[in-house]
Amino acid sequence: MAQRHYAVRAGVLVALDQPLLVLHGGAGVEPGDLTPAEEDAARAALRDALKAGYAKLQAGASSVDAVTAAITVLEDAPQFNAGRGAVFTHDGRNELDTSLMDGASGKAGAAAGLHRVKNPILLARAIMDKSKHVMMVGDGAETFAKEQGIALVDPAYFRVEKRWQQLQKALDEEKKAQASNTPLELPGKAYFGTVGALALDAQGRLAGGTSTGGMTNKRYGRVGDSPIIGAGTWADDRCAVSGTGWGEFYIRSAAAHEICARVRLAGDPLARAADRVINRDIPKAGGDGGAIALGADGSVAFPFNTGGMYRGWIGSDGVPHVAIYKTDALAVPGK
């Protein structure tokens, strides 16, 4: 096995020259949801995203570049609830949210309520790099995107028939529940998706990003956890997290930050911290979902409490490893 290099930087164990990229495509997938052809297409898109991000890392680019590249591929793939293929709001629109954080500098960019930005993650990047702000929303965010030369598209670009049918089903269920005066079913798995990526570059710097259409049948103007730094995305010098799930619960528990805070303050191993928040605290509060977590030492975790989470990683062997369902085996880096 190749020699591994580590350094202790400001008290943090950091893996050097061992770039790693981890991603998810949402925890809203259950066995039986997809046809074999849809599974193949999703796996192929995950592999493409891993390769695109890893190519950046191999070329010596930063973890921020790798995360941006990987998420752009997932946003373009109609299989995932981000960019093209985003879920629909209650009033039949696509409203996109995103965020990006650079663990080395502590800088972040985020945008919410977008209708026309083709690749929301590129706007998060521009907000982080080119503005004085962290978060911009709606029309103002899109004006800034235009100023920055970021591609805008007709809102019809995001529409995918399968997502439209999911909205019709959700509206129907909602109507029936109201008519019979039964409490509305929990939004649950079929209503979310989201994509996220985390990277550790050759210099041991972490970054994380998340992009989403939110949850099917969300009310106009609803903002979930994905664009909220600390809820859906976090990256610092030792830990990075991207979440997917019922966003209200991720916001209330500051899920992504909470995982990294447990690593930093309580000295919890990354996998335990991620498991506690995702598989204990969030379900206890009534929510569900998953996350990916990556440590500066190269440790990874993929906790989720649904039947599946599109997920994968790529490391020094350059081979993309992907999985969808809970029962799918996924090798772990370095093991």
Touching ligand ASP, residues 165-204 (CB under 6 A)? 192-194
Q: Which pairing describes strands 233-235 and 239-245: parallel, antiparallel, or unpaired? A: antiparallel
Q: Which residues contact 248 (CB under 8 A, 6 or more apart)?
A: 224, 225, 287
247 lies in the binding site for ligand ASP (CB under 6 A): yes
Q: How many residues bind ligand ASP (CB under 6 A)?
A: 16
26 lies in the binding site for ligand ASP (CB under 6 A): yes
CA 102, 103, 107, 109 torsion-angle sign: positive
Q: Nearest approach, Cβ of 319 to ligand ASP (angstroms)?
A: 27
CA dihedral angle for residue 245, residue 250, residue 270, residue 107, rounded to 10 degrees: 110
224 lies in the binding site for ligand ASP (CB under 6 A): yes
Nearer to ligand ASP (CB atom), residue 14 or residue 195: 195
Q: Nearest approach, Cβ of 104 to ligand ASP (angstroms)?
A: 25
230 lies in the binding site for ligand ASP (CB under 6 A): no
234 lies in the binding site for ligand ASP (CB under 6 A): no
Q: Is 103 helix (H, G, I), strand (E, B) or coil?
A: coil
Question: Would you call 194 a catalytic residue per the annotation?
Answer: yes
Q: How far apart are CA 130 and CA 125, in angstroms?
A: 8
Q: Nearest approach, Cβ of 90 to ligand ASP (angstroms)?
A: 14
- Binding residue for ligand ASP, selected from 103, 214, 287, 320, defined by CB under 6 A: 214
Q: What element of type H or E holds 113?
A: strand 108-114
216 lies in the binding site for ligand ASP (CB under 6 A): no
Task: Please spell the DSSP secondary structure of 117-160, one letter per residue.
Answer: BS-HHHHHHHHHHHSS-SEEEHHHHHHHHHHTT--B--GGGG--
- Residue 135 backbone phi and psi in degrees, to 5: -135, 135
Please, what is the angle between helix 36-58 and helix 63-76, to 10°?
Answer: 160
- Binding residue for ligand ASP, selected from 65, 142, 201, 225, defined by CB under 6 A: 225
72, 98, 194, 210: the active-site residue? 194
Q: Nearest approach, Cβ of 258 to ligand ASP (angstroms)?
A: 15
Of 3-11, 51-59, 124-132, 208-216, which segment contacts ligand ASP by CB under 6 A?
A: 208-216
Please, what is the angle between helix 120-130 and helix 138-147, to 10°?
Answer: 80
Question: Binding residues for ligand ASP, per CB under 6 A?
Answer: 26, 28, 81, 192-194, 212, 214-215, 224-226, 244-245, 247, 250
- Give the active site residues: 194
